[in-house]
Chains A and B, each alone.
Chain A
Amino acid sequence: MLIMPGGYVPIDYLPVLIFMVIASAFGLGALLVGSIFRPRRPYPEKLMPYESGNPPVGEPRYRFSIKFYIIAMLFVVFDVETVFLYPWAVVFDKIGLYAFVEMMIFIAILLVGYVYAWKKEAFKWD
Chain B
Amino acid sequence: MVPLEWYIWLATAVFAIGVAGFLTRRNIIIMFMSIELMLNAVNISLISFSYYLQDLRGHILSFFVITVAAAEAAIGLAIIISLFRNKATVHADEMNEMKG
**A-B complex is real:** yes
Q: Could you list which residues of chain A lie within 8 angstroms of chain B, going by C-beta atoms?
A: 6-8, 66, 69, 73, 76-77, 79-80, 84
B interface, over-half SS: helix
Tell me the nearest residue of chain B to A73, going by C-beta: B74
A79 to B71, CA, bound (A): 11
CB of B81 within 8 A of CB of A77, answer no
**Known contacts A6-B1, A7-B1; A76 and B73 CB within 8 A of each other:** yes
B27 within 8 Å of A (CB atoms): no
B2 within 8 Å of A (CB atoms): yes
A91 vs chain B, min Cβ distance (A): 13
A64 to B95, CA, bound (A): 23
CB of A76 within 8 A of CB of B74, answer yes
Interface residues of B in 36-80 (CB under 8 A from A): 51, 66-67, 70-71, 73-74, 77-78
* CB-defined contacts of A66 to chain B, threshold 8 Å: 81
A66 to B85, CA, bound (A): 11
* CB-defined contacts of A8 to chain B, threshold 8 Å: 51
A75 to B18, CA, bound (A): 26
Tell me the nearest residue of chain A to B78, going by C-beta: A73
* CB-defined contacts of B66 to chain A, threshold 8 Å: 80
Tell me the nearest residue of chain A to B2, going by C-beta: A7
**Known contacts A66-B81, A73-B78; A79 and B70 CB within 8 A of each other:** yes
Most chain B CB within a 10 A radius of its CB, from A69, A73, A79:
A73
A-B contact pairs, 20 of them (CB 8 A): A7-B1, A7-B2, A66-B81, A69-B77, A69-B78, A69-B81, A73-B77, A73-B78, A76-B70, A76-B73, A76-B74, A77-B70, A77-B71, A77-B74, A79-B70, A80-B66, A80-B67, A80-B70, A80-B71, A84-B67
